[in-house]
Amino acid sequence: MTQLIAKRLVATGAVLLALTGIVFLLQKLSPINPVHSYLGANASAGAIKVESKLLGYNRPIADQYLRYVGNLLRGNLGESLRTRRPVTTDLGAYLPATLELASFGLLLSVMLGAILGLATSRKSLGGGFFRVFMLLGASTPPFLLALFGLIVFYHDLNWLPATGRTSLANPPTGPTPFLTVDTLFHGEWFGFTDAVGHLILPGLCIAILPAVSIGRVFRSSLVATLRTDYVRTARSKGLREIVVLWRHAVRNSLGAALSMTGLQVGLMFAGVVVIESIFSWPGIGLYVAQSIPFGDFPAIAGVTLVLGVGYVLVNTVVDICQAVADPRIKL
Residue 94: φ, ψ to 5°: -95, -30
Assigned domain for 79 exists: no
Together in a domain, 167 and 273: yes
Distance CA 169, CA 205 (A): 26
Please report the pLDDT score of residue 215 as a whole number. Answer: 86
Distance CA 260, CA 265 (A): 9
Together in a domain, 48 and 163: no
Residue 68, amino acid: Y
The C-alpha torsion from 164 through 276 and 101 to 172, rounded to 10°, is: -30
Assigned domain for 84 exists: no
* pLDDT grade for 125, boundaries at 50, 70 and 90: low
- 280 and 286 in contact (C-beta within 8 Å)? yes
Assigned domain for 203 exists: yes
Assigned domain for 81 exists: no
Cα–Cα–Cα angle for 82, 88, 94, nearest 5°?
A: 75
Q: Which of left, alpha, beta for 84 (phi over 0: left; psi -120 to 50: alpha)?
A: left
* pLDDT grade for 328, boundaries at 50, 70 and 90: low
Assigned domain for 78 exists: no
Where residue 285 sits, what CATH number does that domain have?
A: 1.10.3720.10
Assigned domain for 135 exists: yes
Assigned domain for 83 exists: no
Assigned domain for 296 exists: yes
Distance CA 64, CA 48 (A): 18
Together in a domain, 277 and 195: yes
Tens digits of per-residue pLDDT, 43-81? 777 887 887 777 777 778 888 888 888 888 888 888 888
Length of the chain equals 331
DSSP summary character for residue 31: S
Together in a domain, 209 and 100: yes
Question: Where is the domain boundary, 73, 108, 133?
Answer: 73
Together in a domain, 112 and 46: no
Together in a domain, 223 and 155: yes
Together in a domain, 201 and 159: yes
Say whether 86 sits in a helix, a strand or coil.
Answer: strand
Closest CA to 32 of 301, 316, 291, 294: 294
Together in a domain, 283 and 176: yes
Together in a domain, 319 and 212: yes
Distance CA 189, CA 127 (A): 37
Please report the pLDDT score of residue 329 as a whole number. Answer: 58
Together in a domain, 47 and 95: no
Torsion sign over Cα 325, 327, 328, 330? positive
Q: Which of left, alpha, beta for 187 (phi over 0: left; psi -120 to 50: alpha)?
A: left
Can you tell me the mean pLDDT for 254-280? 80
- Percentage above 70 pLDDT, the chain: 92
- 126 and 119 in contact (C-beta within 8 Å)? yes
Together in a domain, 140 and 205: yes
Distance CA 204, CA 174 (A): 26
CB atoms closer than 10 angstroms to residue 178 = 17
* pLDDT grade for 14, boundaries at 50, 70 and 90: confident
Record the pTM: 0.80
Distances (CA, A) of 202 to 56, 134, 229, 254, 281: 40, 19, 43, 27, 9
Distance CA 83, CA 57 (A): 19
Please report the pLDDT score of residue 57 as a whole number. Answer: 75
Residue 268 has pLDDT above 60, yes or no: yes
Residue 133 has pLDDT above 80, yes or no: no
Can you tell me the mean pLDDT for 233-248? 77
Tens digits of per-residue pLDDT, 282-303? 999 889 888 888 778 888 888 8
What's the number of domains the chain is made of? 2
Please report the pLDDT score of residue 201 as a whole number. Answer: 92
Tens digits of per-residue pLDDT, 192-214? 999 999 999 999 989 888 888 88
Range of the domain at 20: 2-73
Together in a domain, 66 and 203: no
Cα–Cα–Cα angle for 108, 110, 114, nearest 5°?
A: 115
* DSSP bridge pairs for 97: none
Beta-carbon contacts of residue 118 (< 8 Å; ≥ 6 apart): 218, 222, 250
Torsion sign over Cα 60, 65, 70, 71? positive
Please report the pLDDT score of residue 323 as a whole number. Answer: 66
